[in-house]
Amino acid sequence: MTQSAEAAAIARAIAAAKVIYVASHENPDGDAVGSLLGLRLVLASLGKTVHVALPHPVPARYAFLEGSASIRWDFPSSVPDLAIALDCDGPERLAHLRQAIEAAPLVADVDHHAGQAFGDLRYLDPTAPASVAQVYVIAGELGGILSPAAATCLYCGLMTDTGGFRFTNTTAAALHLAGQLVAAGADPAEIARRVFAERPLGAALLEGRALSSLRSVSDGRVLLGSITREDFQASGAEPEDTEGIIDAFRDVRGVEIAALLKETEPDVWQVSLRARDVDVRALAAQFGGGGHRLAAGCTMRGDLEQVAASVRKAAQQALREADASA
């Protein structure tokens, strides 16, 4: 089935459904929140009863998006007609929402990752710059008019997943979509201000602590940093305040692989990986993670030195393999 046929099949399932559950992944980013809320507005405009949920709270920087207050921690106990999972890269990232999603009589997986597919209907497009792009296609298949509020949600997801239109997924298609969303009512300057130009003091203090932890290896080609639970406490920052820090690591001259280790529980580390031209998705997969070729992540257990040593060793091996194939 072609991607256009996959989108059309999901649109038909939406048209036939009355009650729909929509969820996205744990530790939600702009694409997760933007695609979730954008689709919610599209479905609500068609008269559908829509329940949206995330495994973790909406980061404060995305709270301005319409409908953010409607996002639940869990779903109602009743069974919907259709469940849609967005941007998940496999069902595991739905965390505790997985059971409610998979209990639906019909499950649709909409994703721009190349990882584990699931569900009855699948609209998978690794060439899409973000999952909001796929929501836009589905909205088109449904024939609805995109409201300014929905366009704002989708533009936010597109802007953040392309790194403010700086990453390699900033394709002609991505820029064309941005133009379509602006034409539909999204305000690029205001959205950028809300997401990138405003942050609490704790976030700035946390970034300073992360920068002070940096260690480089392999002649500066690998850069590793860490944020401990003590760093969060001392800075007064929240887990969401780590967003964007890893990209600052990757921007250091000469760095080919950047890693940020974030302690979420005692000796439990969320590892974010970024690269210029090395497949860090394969690196993350060694530790049960996934993502994109140049942006991936995983969760690891152990003390900081153990986890850092494992990541460092895997990154150095990835570099050797990249050098050998060059």
Q: In what order do the strands lie in the sheet with 257-265?
A: 215-217, 222-227, 257-265, 268-275, 295-301, 290-291
Give 157's pLDDT tier (boundaries 50, 70, 90): very high
Alpha helices (H) in the chain, listed in sequence order: 3-16, 30-45, 98-102, 131-142, 148-161, 172-183, 188-196, 201-212, 229-235, 245-250, 280-285, 304-325
In the chain, the largest separation of any two C-alpha atoms, in whole Å, equals: 58
Tens digit of each residue's pLDDT (9 = 90 or more) over 98-147 = 999 999 999 999 999 877 789 999 999 999 999 999 999 999 999 978 99
Domain ranges of the chain: 3-196, 201-325
Q: Are 81 and 16 in contact (CB under 8 A)?
A: yes
Dump the DSSP string for 136-158.
HHHHHHHTPPPPHHHHHHHHHHH
Helix or strand run (H / E) with residue 263: strand 257-265
Bridge partners of 107, per DSSP, are 83
d(CA 119, CA 97): 14
Q: Are 246 and 270 in contact (CB under 8 A)?
A: no
Give 244's pLDDT tier (boundaries 50, 70, 90): confident
Tens digit of each residue's pLDDT (9 = 90 or more) over 187-230 = 999 999 999 888 889 999 999 999 999 999 999 999 999 999 99
At the second CATH level, the architecture of 3-196 is: Alpha-Beta Complex (3.90)
Q: What are phi and psi of 52, to 5 degrees?
A: -120, 145
Tens digit of each residue's pLDDT (9 = 90 or more) over 268-319 = 999 999 999 999 999 999 999 888 888 899 999 999 999 999 999 999 999 9
Q: Are 186 and 151 in contact (CB under 8 A)?
A: yes
Q: Are 283 and 296 in contact (CB under 8 A)?
A: yes
Which residue's entry shows tokens 């595991």?
92
Distances (CA, A) of 79 to 66, 120, 151, 263: 25, 16, 29, 36
Residues 6+ apart with CB under 8 A from 183: none
Helices and strands per DSSP (H, E), number in the chain: 12, 11
Pairing assessment for the beta strands 215-217 and 222-227 based on DSSP bridges: antiparallel
Q: Do 201-325 and 3-196 have the same topology in CATH?
A: no
d(CA 270, CA 295): 14
Instruction: Say which CATH topology domain 201-325 has.
Output: Diaminopimelate Epimerase; Chain A, domain 1 (3.10.310)
pLDDT at 83: 98
Tens digit of each residue's pLDDT (9 = 90 or more) over 36-84 = 999 999 999 999 999 999 999 999 899 999 999 999 999 999 999 999 9
Q: Are 262 and 225 in contact (CB under 8 A)?
A: no
**Whole-model pTM?**
0.85
Alpha helices (H) in 51-117, listed in sequence order: 98-102
Average pLDDT for residues 239-245, to the nearest whole number?
A: 87
Question: How many C-beta neighbours within 10 Å does residue 52 have?
Answer: 24
Report the chain's mean pLDDT, rounded to a whole number: 94
Residues 6+ apart with CB under 8 A from 261: 224, 225, 226, 227, 269, 270, 271, 300, 304, 307, 308, 311
d(CA 258, CA 283): 12
